[in-house]
Structure 1
Amino acid sequence: MPIVTTMHKARVPVHIYTDDIDHAALQQLLNVASLPVVHPHVAAMPDVHAGIGATVGSVIPTRGAVIPAAVGVDIGCGMNAVRTTLTASQLPDNLARLRSAIEAAVPVGLGQHDWDKVRGSSHARAGRPLNDRLDRIVAKHGGIMKMQRKFVQTWICQLGTLGGGNHFVEVCIDEEERVWIMLHSGSRGIGNVIGRYFIAAAQKDMRRHQVNLPDRDLAYFSEGSTLFDDYVEAVDWAQDYALLNRSEMMRRALEALARHVPPFRLDGEAINCHHNYVARETHGGERLYVTRKGAISAREGELGIIPGSMGARSYVVRGKGNPDAFCSCSHGAGRRMSRSEAKRSFDRFDLAAQTEGIECRKDAGVVDEIPAAYKDIEQVMAHQTDLVEVVHTLRQVICIKG
């Protein structure tokens, strides 16, 4: 059954959809709820855990302000999934070859596409609509360009790349033995640069106006200021780039799949959802800026994706439009331990045991992504039955990480 605990220790209440939350996350929620721009309350999803400044797995509505660190540095990070007409029996016996083919098509980790190959190609043309918008942003904030070497080349070469950490590409099977491709990534290096630049600018602006904050990472821009408008423009750009990045990755992954299986079609619409972003929305009859930091939109009837860890099931869900949660739900299982703690607690043999039967990396380089480092996805789902209903249950057979 859903668990909703309400905290009233700050300026506005915090509604928490779980009983599995640590002290650090609670303190961050209280810090956010004490800000004068937050209204009418904060919602914490079942996957909630401590982040930088704002809590991962939180929904933060603000009046006339935005908090750059609440959006974070992986702006627009999110999910994309498509179902195919393939069945599990049509996948090749050698899944390692299919995994290698997808990894060759979609660079992972620090990898990116070669500039000499993508310059002037359809790949570069795919990013062209974003170019003029980025030029306007950088013309006003040249520091963004200074923070990234080979600025133009980098964001174009990283279009259609995975990155590292918890980003992944998976081949999954649903309850009807249908084959899906699902992936998770964001705005890559350029999103990180934009995020860090405006977080620092907000902190400087708060110091200039002598605004006292419970955490310097909760610095915000007020509506009507030039920095507010510029940040909203930049974050909108990064969110669009993240969406295009996932689209390009999906195209490449499907092409790799097609070379190893019988002919197939896509079945139904592609599901896309951001989970690190800010949007203008109306709740309770009031126009607000809603920041979802590790949470997805779950309006009534809206499809979303809630992935588990690399050894657990994932879910395609349909939103119930719960107003108390600002029409939101969790973005995944949520970390139970930090990356450094996971590396201290487990080794590659533990990883191999916990990912048995899944074609994936099983080396020390991804031990920080071991399933035991995450919360139990089944418990997370049980705590949000008021927020979403399950449409499909997916189990991965291939998991690609950077």
Structure 2
Amino acid sequence: MPYEALPLSTRVPVLSWANHDLGPEESRMARNVAQLPFVFKHVALMPDVHLGKGALVGSVIATKDALIPAAVGVDIGCGMAALQTPYSANQLEGKLKRIRLDIEAAIPVGFQENKEVAKDAQNWQQWDDFKQLHAGVQDQYKKASRQMGSLGGGNHFLEVCLDSEDKVWLMLHSGSRGIGNLLAQCHINSAKNLARLAGSSLPDPDLAYFVKNTPEFAAYWHDLCWAQDYARRNREVMMARFKKIIEKQLAGGKPFKPKLLVNCHHNYAEEESHYGESVFVTRKGAVRARETDYGIIPGSMGAKSFIVKGKGNAESYCSCSHGAGRLLSRTKAKNTFSLDDLIQQTAGVECRKDEGIIDEIPGAYKPIEQVMANQADLVEIVATLKQVICVKG
């Protein structure tokens, strides 16, 4: 689907790949961002766009010499990892529940953390930079160390999937855990305080920003890059444990080399070149999709997911969606669906089936097939996956 330029009368255009009109609150958010003086060329909205804080989830914002901490969000570096195994569906027969229980025993979920710091977490070189992080997180070193290799809650998950050829894939979704959240909050508050002191007239307080070549910008950029690296390493640590469980259950512990391995952020900022200029690109619920990039676009816990390769679409700032996108808020989902609905919508998936995850029911998300159809000009599909095991945060 080609993009549509939205009729919002803003300083820079807003290009949308969604197949629906924005609601009043969504339009207001898009307009607020597109009016900011440092936003570059245009704002790009992905097919899964929906309400966020300050900026829409599913928005790609290129900026000149400025960054908006709340637009990056509080789960800095949240993203996906997936790998293709050499195993086939028939090797999973009779083992699904055992594998799920092994995953839940090996990888802490929700508010849990590792009892001890894992060896592969201890060896991470960026721990040396911890003392240079914001003063507000300096008491969090032990917790951040124990949380590396843990999933978190909400929409984070680990899944065993099958592709269209019945090959087994491993997939997970997680970010920078408590340390990323706390760093984000520290810098969002700092940006808001600066805006108040400067008397800035922002359309939304959550669009407070830092300007390049200031101490505040330098501090945020340092901490942002650190948290993004933490998130990527966190996914690597979990995936290594996940892989060992599958090797134990399907191959007697014999290790395998992944046929394809993907690890990508979808809540982050990066310095890139677009339209011949150096800009900061904030992807708030979006994945980088250059021609050389592989990405992961998951559906809900009862729907298909997709491994994709980017097409390098310039108008999207070489980006694509990060998932199906929510159709209902968590509260509305809980009020709309019952436990019976959850059981019905996750039929055939080995997973928890209790009221604690009704807010993650497939019916709370947009149809992933429609989202994929809307971005045929952004990515090509490499593999189509369907989960057979799902462990939620």
Q: Do both proteins adopt the same fold according to a TM-score greater than 0.5, normalized to the shorter chain?
A: yes
* Secondary structure of the structure 2 residue equivalent to 1:240: helix
Residue 273 of structure 1 aligns with which residue? 264
* Secondary structure of the structure 2 residue equivalent to 1:41: strand
Say whether residues 1:169 and 2:158 are aligned partners.
Answer: yes
* Secondary structure of the structure 2 residue equivalent to 1:400: strand
Residue 132 of structure 1 aligns with which residue? 128
Deviations 1:114-139 (A, max 9, x none): 1xx33xx5244233x122212112xx
- Which amino acid letter does the alignment assign opposite residue 29 of structure 1? A
Say whether residues 1:323 and 2:320 are aligned partners.
Answer: no
Deviations 1:336-383 (A, max 9, x none): 111001001012111110000001111000000000100000000000
Say whether residues 1:400 and 2:391 are aligned partners.
Answer: yes
Residue 135 of structure 2 aligns with which residue? 142
| 1:66, distance to aligned residue in structure 2 (A) | 0.3
Supply the distance in 1 between the matched residues of 2:235 and 2:191 (Cα, whole angstroms): 29
> How many residues align structurally?
390
Supply the distance in 1 between the matched residues of 2:188 and 2:7 (Cα, whole angstroms): 28
* Secondary structure of the structure 2 residue equivalent to 1:61: strand
Q: Mean alpha-carbon deviation: is it higher for 205-214 or for 326-335?
A: 205-214
1:1-400 equivalent positions in 2, closer than 5 A? 1-20=1-20, 21-114=22-115, 117-118=116-117, 122-127=119-124, 129-137=125-133, 141-145=134-138, 151-262=140-251, 263=254, 265-400=256-391
| 1:268, distance to aligned residue in structure 2 (A) | 2.4
- Which amino acid letter does the alignment assign opposite residue 319 of structure 2? S
Taking only aligned residues, the RMSD between alpha carbons, in angstroms, comes to 1.2
| 1:4, distance to aligned residue in structure 2 (A) | 2.5
| 1:198, distance to aligned residue in structure 2 (A) | 0.3
Q: Which runs of 5+ in 2 are unaligned?
A: none
* Secondary structure of the structure 1 residue equivalent to 2:32: helix
| 1:3, distance to aligned residue in structure 2 (A) | 4.8
Deviations 1:143-174 (A, max 9, x none): 233xxxx5111100000000010000000001
Contact 1:299 1:320 in 2 (8 A): yes
Contact 1:86 1:264 in 2 (8 A): no
| 1:191, distance to aligned residue in structure 2 (A) | 0.2
| 1:204, distance to aligned residue in structure 2 (A) | 0.4
Deviations 1:235-262 (A, max 9, x none): 0000000000000000111111222112
Q: Mean alpha-carbon deviation: is it higher for 26-35 or for 4-13?
A: 4-13
Supply the distance in 1 between the matched residues of 2:337 and 2:229 (Cα, whole angstroms): 37
| 1:278, distance to aligned residue in structure 2 (A) | 0.3
| 1:264, distance to aligned residue in structure 2 (A) | 5.7
Supply the distance in 1 between the matched residues of 2:42 and 2:7 (Cα, whole angstroms): 10
Supply the distance in 2 between the matched residues of 1:105 and 1:97 (Cα, whole angstroms): 12
* Secondary structure of the structure 2 residue equivalent to 1:39: strand
- Between the two proteins, what is the percent identity of the paired residues? 51
Supply the distance in 2 between the matched residues of 1:319 and 1:94 (Cα, whole angstroms): 35
Supply the distance in 2 between the matched residues of 1:38 and 1:12 (Cα, whole angstroms): 7
Q: Compared with structure 1, are the counterparts of its residues 348 and 126 closer, same or farther at alpha carbon in structure 2 (3 Å cutoff)?
A: farther
Contact 1:82 1:268 in 2 (8 A): yes
* Secondary structure of the structure 2 residue equivalent to 1:270: strand
Contact 1:92 1:260 in 2 (8 A): no
Deviations 1:12-50 (A, max 9, x none): 110000122433222111111011111111000000000
Q: Mean alpha-carbon deviation: is it higher for 262-271 or for 233-242?
A: 262-271
Q: Mean alpha-carbon deviation: is it higher for 16-25 or for 58-67?
A: 16-25
| 1:2, distance to aligned residue in structure 2 (A) | 4.2
Supply the distance in 2 between the matched residues of 1:219 and 1:42 (Cα, whole angstroms): 17
| 1:266, distance to aligned residue in structure 2 (A) | 3.0
- Which amino acid letter does the alignment assign opposite residue 108 of structure 2? P
* Secondary structure of the structure 1 residue equivalent to 2:263: strand
Deviations 1:85-116 (A, max 9, x none): 000111141311110101111111111101xx
* Secondary structure of the structure 2 residue equivalent to 1:255: helix
Q: Mean alpha-carbon deviation: is it higher for 217-226 or for 12-21?
A: 12-21
* Secondary structure of the structure 1 residue equivalent to 2:83: strand
Supply the distance in 2 between the matched residues of 1:325 and 1:179 (Cα, whole angstroms): 32
Supply the distance in 1 between the matched residues of 2:69 and 2:280 (Cα, whole angstroms): 12
Supply the distance in 1 between the matched residues of 2:247 and 2:163 (Cα, whole angstroms): 19
Contact 2:244 2:255 in 1 (8 A): no
- Which amino acid letter does the alignment assign opposite residue 351 of structure 1? L
- Which amino acid letter does the alignment assign opposite residue 13 of structure 1? P
Q: Which runs of 5+ in 1 are unaligned?
A: none
- Which amino acid letter does the alignment assign opposite residue 215 of structure 2? T
Contact 2:62 2:279 in 1 (8 A): yes
